[in-house]
Amino acid sequence: MDASFVMTNTAQTAYSQSILGHSIYTKWRGSTVETLQVLSQSSKDPMLSDLYHHLMIIFHIPLKSLCTVAGWTATEDAILATKKELYKWMVDNPQAARKTLLHGAILFKSLRSRPLITYSEAHELLVATLTIWTYTSLHPSRSEDTLTGPKIYLDRHMTDDQERSWILSPNGDSPLYISGVGCILNDSAAVRVLLEAKNCFTRKSHPWGIYHQIMTVFEVMASSGTAISLDQF
């Protein structure tokens, strides 16, 4: 092959970034999101709604970053660097972080409300769980008795005004709740979300191999705080 057609990793990265930053791509992505949102709201098929929330999460946080911060197939240096990147993103873009958390909570609720039978549902539960876990792990912990604001249930229906109000100007003293997990701002929330996600796979789920693999990841993370020991899994 002619050397001129062979890209280095650096060139590939620069090329990808140039595409992602192009106005045509931005418009296409925006149109795709709007279309999925309309379809998910008008359809009674939960899988279509799940797909929408799944995509909205990875538009903001790539799955690779979620797996890295969890320690799955990652080095300690990569974990630390990714934690710093995501924490900076949460601080610099709090509205995007809260919106992503909201998508994760809604997706988590949808998946835990029914038996899981498809291969894609395993990936969706992985993404939803790691999104909530990452937010909980990086957000300063608060005991519930110090959270005196009105309770906010992230996975329950909010009006557009309520959702917009929380995303744009949240009450920092409000406890945030997710069904099956409880308040996600206290010290033990990260472990609880992992254990609840693991339980989702045991409730009459189809025995896909990926289900058992992700269950093991959640178990190890819950017991040790990281999946780094599963690098070769």
**pLDDT of 102 higher than 90:** yes
pLDDT of residue 172: 77
Task: Please return the burial class of 3, using the count of CB atoms within 10 Å of its CB with bins 0-12, 13-18 and 19+.
Answer: exposed
Concatenated DSSP letters for 14-73? HHHHHHHTSHHHHHHHHHHHHHHHHHHHH---HHHHHHHHHHHHHHHS-HHHHHHHHTTT
204: left (phi over 0), alpha (psi -120 to 50) or beta: left
**pLDDT of 71 higher than 90:** yes
Query: Could you read off the pLDDT of 169-221 as tens digits, one per residue?
Result: 777 788 999 999 999 999 899 999 999 999 998 876 666 788 889 999 999 99
pTM across the whole model: 0.83
Query: Could you read off the pLDDT of 125-169 as tens digits, one per residue?
Result: 999 999 999 999 999 888 888 888 888 999 998 888 888 888 987
